[in-house]
Amino acid sequence: MNNGLVFSGVQPTGNLHLGNYLGAIKNWVDLQNKKKCIFCIVDLHAITVSENRKKLKENSKEVAAAYLASGIDPKKSIIFVQSNVTGHSELAWILSCHTPIGWLNRMTQFKDKAGKNKEKAPLGLYSYPVLMAADILLYKSSYVPVGEDQKQHLELCRDIAQSFNRYYENEFFPIPEPIITGSATRVMSLKDGTKKMSKSDPSDYSRINLTDSTDELRKKILKAKTDSLPFPDSDQNIENRPEVNNLINIFCAMTDSRKELVLKDYSGKDFKKFKEDLCEIVNQKISVISAEMKKLLEEKGYLDSILNDGIKKANEIALDNIKEIKKIISFYRI
Ligand code: TRP
């Protein structure tokens, strides 16, 4: 039953930043050498929020370029754009019939995103976690690399899979496991270490975009909030210092190093030196990725051919599974 398949996705919302890279894409590059992976560009999710409904085509291509530039290999992994495989919306409907409203009412992300005026929030924003469950279960995926903020949605996906299996008295859907990786799975704002780095933060100084120039990047890191205490020498000295913790986590994730070692290296030194080194490290990686993204986006037809191939492969699996699911439900078929 467990096919070992990995599924994950990023929304094409424009302005990819360091949080998307360290929290998601970077971790996938290693995974694809160990397991069969499907990496989706989840455009059906993006339209749940009105600002994201513009430039969908360009933004989807930008995410595809970021996947490839970061080292996702289309020969090993399937890369495709969600709206091209109709099974996602089809299965979302079916699963919505197995999802009690009470489960959705617990989702904290909906509460945050809908804000005070819940009555005006679109139904799609509310049922978004069901679509996410459909994404994962459509391929009968076993593993889902996600950031901390998506853990609750994955829990719901597991509940929905179990609910379907129980109702139809079979074990069609594997119960997917989360993979939460790396020390910087949750990259925070450079201005407020208690808030996630986000493309919707009004201050561009709160985030590092994958397309930032060396200059911009430098300014942002050097101006990143810290405090007047010395550089910490142990985990205990980072408690209640969210901005410092965030910068150290970014350093660890970028260099694949353990926190203790970084603390040992910099303890006693001033923040300026640490920030200078961090600029260097971030710049080295990001400048290579952004140059490669630019090249891929300018190369006519190349991304389209990769995505076309991915759509075909994803659709093949999806159609087979949808067929099975319809059989289980015993819908009328000619
Ligand atoms: N909801 C995820 C996010 O906002 C994106 C996503 C959609 C996803 N479908 C998924 C992630 C399936 C993992 C698996 O980050």
From ligand 1's centre to the CA of 314, what distance in Å? 16
| Residue 278 CB less than 6 A away from ligand 1 | no
Question: Tokens 């996410």 label which residue?
Answer: 132
What is the CA angle 221-223-227, rounded to 5? Answer: 105
Confirm whether 199 is a catalytic residue: yes
Point out the catalytic residue in the list 35, 36, 113, 191: 113
Domain 6-179+300-329 and domain 204-296, same fold? Reply is no
Cα(61)–Cα(82) distance, integer angstroms:
12
Token code pair at residue 180: 């939460």
User: Is 326 annotated in the active site?
Assistant: no
pLDDT for 1 equals 45
Provide the token pair at 284: 């080295």
For the chain, give every domain's residue range.
6-179+300-329, 204-296
Q: Which of 20, 62, 35 is nearest to 143 (CA)?
A: 35
Is 45 close to ligand 1, i.e. is its CB under 6 Å away? yes
Instruction: Return the CATH superfamily for domain 6-179+300-329.
Output: HUPs (3.40.50.620)
Cα–Cα nearest to 249, from 272, 274, 229, 230 = 274
Question: 10 - beta bridge partners?
Answer: 41
Question: Residue 184's pLDDT is what?
Answer: 58
**Mean pLDDT of residues grouped by 10 in the chain (334 residues)?**
85 93 92 96 96 94 97 98 98 98 97 91 97 98 92 97 98 95 78 92 95 94 93 88 95 92 91 95 95 95 97 98 98 90
Q: Which fold has domain 204-296?
A: Tyrosyl-Transfer RNA Synthetase (1.10.240)
Q: What pLDDT score does 200 carry?
A: 86
Residue 113: active-site member: yes
Residue 8 Cβ inside 6 Å of ligand 1? The answer reads yes
Long-range contacts for 226-232 (Cβ within 8 Å, ≥24 apart)?
Answer: 226/271, 230/267, 230/268, 230/270, 231/263, 231/266, 231/267, 231/268, 231/269, 231/270, 231/271, 231/274, 232/263, 232/267
